[in-house]
Amino acid sequence: MNFQHRFFAIQKIPQGSFHLFLILYDDPRVRQNLLSRLGQLNPPVGTVKEPGARYIGYFQELAEKTGKLLPISISTGVAPAIEIASCFEPPTTPLGYNELQAAGALRGRPVELTVCLTIPEKAIAHAEYVIEGEILPYVRVREDQNSGTGKAMPEFPGYCGPANPSLPVIKVKAVTTRKNPIMRTCIGPSEEHVFMAVLPTEASILTMLEKAYPGKIKNVYCASPGGGKYFVIIQFLKTVPSDEGRQRQAALLAFSAFPELKHVFLVDEDVDSFDLKDVLWAMTTRFQADPDLIPIPGVQCHPLDPSNHSSYSPLIRGDGIACKAIFDCTVPFDQKERFQQAKFMEVDPGPWLRC
């Protein structure tokens, strides 16, 4: 994607949209935080887009059923470890898990919080900006009501996502900043944006697979062309004949660990799972579509993939539905000798480097 295409996409986003904001809400049982998108309407009102796999929407629904306002703090310009921790999703971070604990572990010290000025809530103390506000019950607006383009922001798959027709509204009560604050944001589908999705995806998959197949999972890699969510390369070690077929079970388990996953590529231990050229080499020479491609039709995936749409195929019953697939590029255990890579003599490059 060249610069002109990126610029064209950014021109079509809703006016006054911001990304990389962290919402904190204190439930009597748990503190939840998440990465979210904010939209500017007419001050002091804004919108919030809540990712479907996060829990702020759950708490908002509970508050709305009783007609209550939902007090939240919104922090931006925080330590990268906090931003990364906020990207984790269930099942790795189930309801009741405080993601700030993960952020503290990454930083090696607790995340400092401070009390808000106008609402009964806390915010991240070192944030460049803190917005205090309340989500209003029964109030919704279109995401693109300022621009009318029908588009949202550039998203991780590389396309501008459709504007949400019905977003909750926040009434802003206060904004506090550091001295000379820096407004930090992150626009997709940049490498930075994708990388923030990669780490939680890999961790979620690796955690589940290692529990099921200890010692068999050598690497889990979500390459950036998949947006950090859509495809993963799993390096599986077969050591005994009974391991044959377990690599495919591991792939099925990966779909359970991360529901937004669309494609799983399985490779052997002699394939560099971090080198897409090596992975494609394995797919070219160790993969036959009829025995090694396992389609899984009609499964919920992610609505931002434009091919996951009923207009793309009559077999897709609803938006966000996909035919997921496993690409088994591993060698059958009883044929490993036939697939030995060419080996070359080890050479010490030292004499040439000293010249």
- Tell me which residues are annotated as active site: 155
Q: How far apart are CA 308 and CA 322, in angstroms?
A: 5
Nearest Cα neighbor of 56 from 76, 72, 75 is 72
Amino acid at 261: L
Amino acid at 299: V
Nearest Cα neighbor of 204 from 92, 99, 304 is 92
Question: What angle (nearest 5°) sits at the alpha carbon of residue 63, between those of residues 302 and 26?
Answer: 85
C-alpha distances (whole Å) from 308 to each of 225, 256, 301, 302 are 17, 18, 8, 7
Nearest Cα neighbor of 259 from 204, 300, 211 is 300
| Contact of 233 with 267, CB cutoff 8 Å | yes
Provide the 3-class DSSP secondary structure of residue 5. Answer: helix
Look-up of token digits 């999703």: 89
C-alpha distances (whole Å) from 185 to each of 36, 48, 88 are 11, 15, 18
Look-up of token digits 């394995």: 282
Q: How far apart are CA 19 and CA 197, in angstroms?
A: 14
In angstroms and rounded to an integer, the radius of gyration of the C-alpha atoms of the chain is 23
| Torsion over CA: 256, 258, 260, 264 (sign) | negative
Nearest Cα neighbor of 223 from 277, 182, 163, 288 is 277
Question: What angle (nearest 5°) sits at the alpha carbon of residue 128, between those of residues 81 and 194?
Answer: 40
CA dihedral 331, 336, 339, 343 (to 10 degrees): 130
Please report how the helices 246-257 and 191-212 are oriented relative to each other, as an axis angle in degrees rounded to 10: 130
